[in-house]
Amino acid sequence: MTENNYVNRGLPDIVRRFEGTRVLVIGDCMLDEYIYGECNRISPEAPIPVVLCNEKCDFLGGAANVSANIKAVGGEPLLVGVVGDDEPGERLRKALGERKISDNGLVVSHSRPTTLKTRIVAQNQQIIRLDREVFDDLSDEDLSSVKERFDGVIDSVGAVVISDYGKGVINRAVLKHIRDVIGKEDIKTVVDPKVSHFEYYKGMTVITPNHREASDVCDINIVDEITMTRAGKTLIDRVGCENVLITWGERGMVLFRNGQEDMPVFIDATARSVYDVTGAGDTVVAVLSLALANGASIVDASRIANYAGGIVVGKLGTSTVLKSELIEIIEKGS
């Protein structure tokens, strides 16, 4: 038995238990619009490429994409978030319906638009991204509705994912409400964090910054294992959460545990090729939450999430991972 196969023994069984596991996802929902085309010339009007558009596709983004990833690997997501009373919001809800994900937890706001990100792609290369969004906190009315949606489903879940893209749904008041409602219940909380909100995540089970976010928060330039370890220890101390899982691009992930900061777990990357990192963080928190909800240790849950992230970056666009794909790559140990 190889070292990888020994380490991975038991992980496929955890993934098989994902089926039907309910996870509450709360956060910023987005619609990712992809316009695909061909680029064969430069515009005579300005030094920019001319793209002949051939196809337009909608993908779920942010908290909605976390939900799609949970669904794809067999879980049952309960999505709580906000969309605008607009055409992108209708398209987002339609995309949820196509994936058999309920939109009952979505609040339709009359005071803010649906976050829309449009990516124009030619010859498999992203040319430009156009964003339509606001960053203001929710109105009192919308905030109250979000709390009501959260309270209505929390008793039935094994984990909560907080998808914080800084678009207004997640703030100090919402996170305090989440902590107050969960109380001493054994419900795991997984956070995809926003740099400006790190001080809000005290007491959460695990936060999952990438190495650039960790560098920014700690003011430490992460270039090797020594600086990575310093950053992880600093985050554990500063944030006050139970665990920090830092994603490190082609170098994999590093797990830091409160009380064991001097013993980080370095997890090697598994991706064979990287085509698109869009939404990879959503995949990681989705799979991490399902593993924790099914009793996995934080180390095993992180290893499974690392495999999932390695699969999704090999796909174009905002993508998901299938349970069968995840089990297969874990069993191969690569």
Considering only CA atoms, give the Rg of the chain.
20
How many angstroms separate the CA atoms of 218 and 226, rounded?
14
Asked if 311 and 328 count as a contact pair (C-beta separation under 8 A), the reply is no
Asked if 150 and 179 count as a contact pair (C-beta separation under 8 A), the reply is no
Query: The tokens of 170 are what?
Result: 């997640």
Which run of H or E residues covers position 247? strand 243-247
Q: Which of 28, 103, 164, 282 is catalytic?
A: 282
Q: What are phi and psi of 52, to 5 degrees?
A: -85, 110
Helix, strand, coil % over all residues of the chain, rounded to 5: 40, 25, 35
Cα distances (angstroms) measured from residue 223 to each of 32, 229, 237, 264, 280: 32, 11, 21, 16, 21
CA angle 310, 313, 319 (to 5 degrees): 115
Identify whether 192 is a catalytic site residue: no
Look up tokens 């009192």; give the residue.
Answer: 140
* Residues involved in catalysis: 282
